[in-house]
Amino acid sequence: MSKMMKIIGAVAVINIVARMFGFLREVVIGNQYGTTTTADAIATAYAIPNFIYLVVGGGLTTAFISVYHSTRTDKSLYVRKSFTTVLVAAVSITAFLMIFTDPVLKLFFNNRSAEDFALIRNLYLWMMPSSIILVLSTWMSGALNINGKYNLSSMAVLLYNAAFVGIAVLLTKPFGAESYGIGAMIAAILMGGFLYVGFRRSKLYSLKPSFGMSDDVKRLWVIALPILFGGASLQFYILIHRIVAAQFDAGVISAVNYASKSTGLPQAILMTAVTTVIYPLLSKKEGEGDMETIRKLYKKGMLYLVTLLAPATAVAYFFAEPLISFVFERGEFTRESTLLMTPIFQVFALSMFFLAANTFITRFYYAKANSIVPVIFSVISVLGINIAVIYLMKDAFGASSIAYGTFISAAINFVMLVIYARVKWKL
């Protein structure tokens, strides 16, 4: 086994363990608060900070890496300027969302009781500042990865997820549900500090701020904006889940959250297995212009996804109730919580292949320097078809309509991506 494959394998294992800790957090919340308004508040408060972390952090970091590989200017200066750009963007967005806390929360979650809204607000104010650190951590992870320091970035995510759940549990007795806000903040600080120390010890580049709009920074934004819109449209699934679920009875927000996270875990783990095999070869073959190998990688990856996710989907769908009971049903997560979550979980299970396949196919679009088309398809699917399906099925299917929206829109998005890739590149 080559050294690179050993590194990739180690990173994949660490990422899987990190995701398991992230899922453990949901299990613990279920054990402590079940499907109550308190569990709803925790899921609701985390929605917007997590949105900023994934969309802004992911988009700017992806663009940073793209420009880094092609810049003809001094890389040290580019790193400093891009770090400053990411820092300013993260602080500006977070400050705006914190200054207008009440209008923002009421815009999305305006039908909560005064007591529930107060808890959401307190949790939000704890969690929101962590988005600055998380965005910067994502950028530092990208900078470390392009310099071969893969383990540092993977360990940082593991540290964050483990610390988040550990601190929240330890502080539950004195602080109650607000321990999850405190846990989010402390875990982000630990993650950011870990990466910063690793960055400094690696002696790669200075992170001293450098202001001014260079040509490379302009290119960074040109590349980042389509990726930001694409990432935002996908993350809108989660935000829409929270907003629509808030219109149902108490406990539906947390039930939808547990169901989506539960079906997202095998999808993410199996996607990691496929990407470990496929992605290291993709960019290399694209650079060489080897279309025949790229087509084989595309077909092989799709075959792997079907082989891995079809059985996982069948098991999740047909054994939904015993699976949920085994994983969640203890403490405050009662039999009633299991029955509430089961039909939602079953429909989300049907979307696992399509969500994974859409992510997989989109990477081929990015390799072809085509980031606009996936964004258009995502916007149509998530903000058009998804919302339409939810509201058309809402009265007949209740909370399960949220999952049906994800399933049907993801399937249609998959069809559009496949057809366009077939016509454009014969994939």
**Per-residue pLDDT tens over the stretch 155-199:** 898 999 999 999 999 999 999 999 999 999 999 999 999 999 998
**Tens of pLDDT along 307-328?**
989 999 999 999 999 999 999 9
- pLDDT band at residue 147 using 50, 70 and 90 as cut-offs: confident
Q: Which two tokens stand for residue 285?
A: 């073959």
Number of domains present in the structure of the chain: 2
Residue 223 and residue 303 in one domain:
no
Mean pLDDT of 12-33: 89
Residue in the structure block whose two tokens are 């663009």: 63
Is the pLDDT at 45 greater than 80, yes or no? yes
Specify if 243 maps to a domain.
Answer: no
Mean pLDDT of 289-299: 86
Contact (Cβ atoms closer than 8 angstroms) between residue 217 and residue 84: no
Residue 10 and residue 134 in one domain:
yes
Residue 160 and residue 307 in one domain:
no
User: Of 210, 235, 260, at which residue does a domain stop?
Assistant: 235
Mean pLDDT of 411-427: 94
| Coil, helix or strand at residue 110 | coil
| pLDDT at residue 276 in the model | 56
CA-atom Rg of the chain in angstroms = 21
Residues recorded for the chain: 427
Is the pLDDT at 364 greater than 70, yes or no? yes
User: Of 208, 235, 262, at which residue does a domain stop?
Assistant: 235
Sign, CA dihedral 338-398-29-163, equals positive
**Tens of pLDDT along 178-189?**
999 999 999 999
Residue 10 and residue 68 in one domain:
yes
Range of the domain at 72: 1-235
- CA 371 to chain centroid: 18
Contacts of 404 (CB under 8 A, 6+ apart): 347, 389, 390, 393, 397
Residue 386 and residue 262 in one domain:
yes
| pLDDT at residue 8 in the model | 60
DSSP letter string over 352-392? HHHHHHHHHHHHHHHHTT--HHHHHHHIIIIIIIIHHHHHH
Residue 202 and residue 284 in one domain:
no
- pLDDT band at residue 7 using 50, 70 and 90 as cut-offs: low
**Tens of pLDDT along 96-119?**
999 999 998 888 777 778 888 999
| pLDDT at residue 1 in the model | 47
Lowest-pLDDT choice from 61-70, 85-94, 243-252: 61-70
| pLDDT at residue 285 in the model | 75
Residue 75 burial (CB count, 10 A): 13
The pTM is what? 0.86
Q: Which two tokens stand for residue 73?
A: 């200017």
